[in-house]
Amino acid sequence: MNRHDPEGAIAEAAKAYSNWGRWGEDDRLGTLNFLDEGKRREGAALVRRGVSFSLAQSFDMNGPQKGWRRRTNPVHTMLDTGTDAALGTQGFPHGIGGADDVIAMPLQCSTQWDGLGHIFDHGKAWNGRDAEKVVTSDGDLVTGIEHMAPYVAGRGVLLDVGRVAGTDGELPDGFAITEEHLTATAEAHGVAVGRGDIVLVRTGQLARARRDGWGDYAGGPAPGLSFTAAGWLHSTEIAAIATDTWGFEVRPNEFEHAFQPLHQVAIPNIGLLIGEMWDPEALAEDCVRDGTYEFWLTAAPLPVTGAVGSPVNPIAVK
Top pLDDT among 263 and 68 is at: 263
Provide the percentage of residues in the chain whose pLDDT is more than 90.
Answer: 99
> In the beta sheet, which residues pair with residue 124?
121, 130
How far are the Cα atoms of 26, 280, 306, 314 from residue 302, in angstroms, in the given order?
Answer: 22, 20, 11, 11
- Residue 93 and residue 54 share a domain: no
Task: Look at residue 1 in the predicted model and tell me its pLDDT.
Answer: 83
pTM for the predicted model, two decimal places: 0.97
pLDDT digits (tens, 9 = 90+) for 93-139: 999 999 999 999 999 999 999 999 999 999 999 999 999 999 999 99
- Residue 185 and residue 312 share a domain: yes
- Residue 158 and residue 78 share a domain: no
- Residue 94 and residue 231 share a domain: no
Residue 49 lies in a domain: yes
Mean of the per-residue pLDDT values for the chain?
97
Task: Look at residue 191 in the predicted model and tell me its pLDDT.
Answer: 98
* Spatial separation of the C-alpha atoms in residues 163 and 218, rounded to whole Å: 22
Q: Which domain holds residue 94?
A: 74-103
Residue 41 lies in a domain: yes
Of 58, 82, 103, which residue sits at a domain end? 103
* Spatial separation of the C-alpha atoms in residues 114 and 278, rounded to whole Å: 12
Residue 1 lies in a domain: no
- Residue 262 and residue 161 share a domain: yes
- Residue 83 and residue 226 share a domain: no
- Residue 11 and residue 79 share a domain: no
Domain holding 238: CATH number? Answer: 3.50.30.50
- Residue 211 and residue 95 share a domain: no
- Residue 218 and residue 96 share a domain: no
* Spatial separation of the C-alpha atoms in residues 261 and 26, rounded to whole Å: 26
pLDDT-based confidence at 71, cuts 50/70/90? very high
pLDDT digits (tens, 9 = 90+) for 194-203: 999 999 999 9
20 touches 269 (CB < 8 A): yes
- Residue 266 and residue 241 share a domain: yes
Q: Count of domains in the chain?
A: 2
Average pLDDT of 301-317? 98
